Structure 1
Amino acid sequence: MRSAQANARVANIAARKQDRRRHQRVGVSLLGRFMLENRREYPCQVSDMSPGGAALIAPVTGEVGERVIAYIDHLGRIEGKIVRHIEGGFAMTLNATARKRDKLASQLTWLANRHELNLPEDRRHDRFTPDSSASRIILPDGREYPCRVVDVSMSGAALAIEVKPAIGTAISLGKMRARVIRHTEDGVAVEFGAVQNINVLKNQITI
């Protein structure tokens, strides 16, 4: 006859399997920052996620079992623990209330649908050409390149630039955080980490 402790272990394993089935992972590409227990912050990119866990591409991996707090574009604050290391980063579980998990599920569904519809930029946002178009991008390794802002909306911008960083590369455009989503004939198109206020954009993207 199994002990109460053994029964509890079996119940926990069954609950975890059920949780994994319920929380299907969604492939995403979201920028953010995270903090380990040493309270140092690092940039990251979420490559896939469910309401119960996430995979982060990051410059440091931390220790298995270490607590993580992250702020992810479009999703906000998440927290949990590192469960394993993956190539170029780590996988973490998410500690969240049922209400928070439901909200994450809705957000991830929207992001997945946007990806399936091939809508990297939100075309509902009108584009305009800034009065001053001179700007620069800064790559993750610190290299800087001058560019010209062809046009911009609340969600992204088209840049004329000689270099073409790889699609998915996180960059800084002026004072704005963004990522490369497409190559164009004259340069690249970038998407901002979140929808921006037009008045803020005018002061942040050019130099």
Structure 2
Amino acid sequence: MLGAQQPASDQDRRQYQRVKVMLHGRLMLSDRTEHRCQVVDMSPGSAFFATDATAKTGERVIAYIDHIGRLEGTVARVRDDGFALELNTTPRKKAKLAAQLTWLANKHELDLPEDRRHERILPRNPSGILSLEDGRQYRCRIIDLSVSGAAVEINVRPALGTQVTLGNMRGQVVRHFEDGIAIEFAVIQRRETLQQYLS
């Protein structure tokens, strides 16, 4: 049937290289319970989800992953720390995933805190509040920011990959430097969202 989604075949698994990533998101099991997760390696045909969710082999899972979007598939292998998902994807979606993974792999190899195509802005109002997932909040000074990330001067050093919120913009720590951290936003921000820092 034209346009039907197909699970990854053995040929797909050989064709596509798995890429080590660190992408956060949420997943929903077939019983409709939602769980936090992290994709730690991925190809256009499969992905490994680190999660405390208990899934069964063959179970259908839907996930929403930062930078990638919606994924769905069936559980192929289960481990204590998570499970491998064979993705149900159309050829078009598979090609898009391949491009996204190539960009993510190159970005991490080059140690880029964000996509440098986005203009970096020096804020007129550099004061900010950085929040961690456990509710702790820290004052920080925004050195520069763009629609995809920010560099902030701050006294604490959350570990790489830590989920943080700058104002109301969710992201993760991707780099440490002498006086602070670089944050990559989970989604590309609208310029209007940045206005509070530019006025």
Question: Shorter-normalised TM-score: what interval?
Answer: 0.7 to 0.9
Query: Are 1:196 and 2:189 an aligned pair?
Result: yes
Q: Is the radius of gyration larger for structure 1 or structure 2?
A: 1
Which residue is 2:113 aligned to?
A: 120
Q: CA deviation at 1:85?
A: 2.9
**Using a 3 Å threshold, how does the CA distance of structure 1 residues 142 and 64 change in structure 2: closer, same or farther?**
farther
Which residue is 2:81 aligned to?
A: 88
- Partner SS, residue 106 of structure 1: helix
**Structure 2 length as normaliser, TM-score?**
0.83
Query: Are 1:52 and 2:45 an aligned pair?
Result: yes
Q: 1:75 aligns with which of 50, 68, 76?
A: 68
Cα separation, 2, equivalents of 1:43 and 1:178: 15
Cα separation, 2, equivalents of 1:161 and 1:86: 38
Which residue is 1:102 aligned to?
A: 95
- Segments of 4+ in structure 1 off by > 6 A? none
**Structure 1 length as normaliser, TM-score?**
0.80
| C-alpha contact 1:130 1:202 (8 A) present in aligned 2 | no
Cα separation, 2, equivalents of 1:144 and 1:59: 26
Cα separation, 1, equivalents of 2:137 and 2:81: 24
* CA deviation vs aligned residue, 1:162-185 (integer Å, no higher than 9, x gap): 211111112222211111011122
Query: Are 1:179 and 2:172 an aligned pair?
Result: yes
Structure 2: runs of 5 or more not aligned:
1-7
- Partner SS, residue 115 of structure 2: coil
Between Structure 1 and Structure 2, the one with more strand by share is: 2
Q: What pairs up with 1:149-160 in 2 under 5 angstroms? A: 149-160=142-153
Q: What pairs up with 1:56-67 in 2 under 5 angstroms? A: 56-67=49-60
| C-alpha contact 1:148 1:159 (8 A) present in aligned 2 | yes
Cα separation, 1, equivalents of 2:38 and 2:195: 26
Give the length in aligned residue pairs: 191
Between Structure 1 and Structure 2, the one with more helix by share is: 1
Give the RMSD, CA atoms, in angstroms.
2.4
Mean CA deviation greater in 105-114 or 135-144: 135-144
| C-alpha contact 2:113 2:183 (8 A) present in aligned 1 | no
Cα separation, 2, equivalents of 1:199 and 1:166: 29
- Partner SS, residue 95 of structure 1: strand
Which residue is 1:162 aligned to?
A: 155
Structure 1: runs of 5 or more not aligned:
1-14
Q: In the alignment, residue 30 of structure 1 is paired with which amino acid?
A: L
Q: What pairs up with 1:21-36 in 2 under 5 angstroms? A: 21-36=14-29
Q: CA deviation at 1:16?
A: 4.2
Q: In the alignment, residue 127 of structure 1 is paired with which amino acid?
A: R
| C-alpha contact 1:156 1:190 (8 A) present in aligned 2 | yes
